[in-house]
Amino acid sequence: MAFSFLTQDLAIDLGTANTVILVNDKIVVDEPSIVAIDQNTGKPIAFGQKARMMHGKTHANIKTIRPLKDGVIADFNACEMMIRGFVKMINYKHSLFTPSLRMVVSIPSGSTEVEIRAVRDSSEHAGGRDVYLIYEPMAAAVGIGLDVEAPTGNMVVDIGGGTTEIAVISLGGIVINHSIRVAGDGFTNEIQQYMRQQHSIKIGELTAEDIKIKVGAALSELDEYPEPYVVRGPNLMTAHPVEVNVTSQEIAHCLDKSLAKIEAAVISVLEQTPPELYADIVQRGIYLTGGGALLRGLDKRLYEKINIEFHVSEDPLHAVARGTSVALKNTDRFPFLMR
């Protein structure tokens, strides 16, 4: 391209929990999907990790917003500000001006026309000149190195922040897909409720998220148990400070209902899978990606329930982002990219 220095190629995984941006296969932004806005001026004051640290600690003049809910844009304005803010974080010191942007953005496979348009519009308003869209499970499959164009069945379960995407992929297309709104955010809410009911302790979203990361588990019996996590907060009845040790067994029990919904969704997709592709999946196993794949013992629990091997992919958190980056290089070759 004659004026390639005038164009910047960005691969964006616009997630409910985290936004990851890659330039030339390098992760340049990996931040929580959250923006802090000054209520008086309506202007953004912080993005990503800085805004996350303010979450739940703001006064009347500052508001923290998570623009995406259940995998789709809930606040169009805030989303646009957030994408703009993240794009600005990328280093443009080498150029005297901001280049025009070519983007590939990942979206949930269950997105409606309206939701797809919202992502496209937000990306264009944030400076995208050429915007391509790719479905998350397809991006995840490409990101973990599966040959999606082969006449072979591959099954991917991508457990993100807002949605769990389950898809059977063959010949460069999604044969069957199912998207459910049970994922990382749902697990965090379950932990908050559990702490209220079982321990009469009130905790915020960030603390619940920490519990999930430190002692989150899908099975009560693990090969290796993490250290119990100490939670401090106010007692609901007396408002006195209390301290509770939370174990992985408790969290496994607490997340049981949500995980059962994911199991049911996987079984439902397998029931609809054509027999030839089903045989491929049994032989090759099912691939787990997304932050939820890091839940201790999840692969084992799913194997016990469904009797097909589950593989936790390497670096599951960035699988979708890496696949989006590969797609960006092959915009002319991949038929599953949407303009």
Domain count, the chain: 3
Query: Domain range spanning residue 171?
Result: 148-182+256-318
Is the CB of residue 337 less than 8 Å from the CB of residue 132? yes
Q: What's the pLDDT at 3?
A: 40
Question: Which CATH number fits the domain that encloses residue 120?
Answer: 3.30.420.40
Torsion over CA: 238, 239, 242, 244 (sign): positive
121 and 220 assigned to the same domain: no
pLDDT tens profile 107-139: 888 888 998 999 999 889 888 888 999 999 999
* Residue percentage of the chain with pLDDT more than 90: 68
Q: At what angle do helices 256-272 and 184-199 cross, to 10 degrees?
A: 150
Which residue do the tokens 């797609």 mark? 327
245 and 302 assigned to the same domain: no
Q: Is 338 inside any structural domain? A: no
* Residue percentage of the chain with pLDDT more than 70: 96
What does pLDDT average to over the chain? 90
Start-end of H helices in 90-131: 113-125
153 and 245 assigned to the same domain: no
Pairwise CA distance, residues 149 & 53, whole Å: 42
Q: What's the pLDDT at 129?
A: 86
Write down the pTM of the prediction.
0.90
Confidence of residue 332 (pLDDT cuts 50, 70, 90): confident
Q: Is 217 inside any structural domain? A: yes
236 and 289 assigned to the same domain: no
Q: What's the pLDDT at 97?
A: 55
Q: Is 335 inside any structural domain? A: no
Give the residue-averaged pLDDT of 171-180.
Answer: 92
Torsion over CA: 253, 221, 312, 86 (sign): positive
Judged against a pLDDT cut of 70, whether residue 98 lies above it is answered with: no
pLDDT tens profile 183-238: 999 999 999 999 999 999 999 998 999 999 999 999 998 888 999 999 999 999 99
Q: Is 339 inside any structural domain? A: no
270 and 314 assigned to the same domain: yes
205 and 306 assigned to the same domain: no
176 and 87 assigned to the same domain: no
303 and 246 assigned to the same domain: no
pLDDT tens profile 33-61: 999 999 999 999 999 999 999 988 888 89
92 and 121 assigned to the same domain: yes
Q: What's the pLDDT at 2?
A: 39
- Token couple for 18: 């985290």
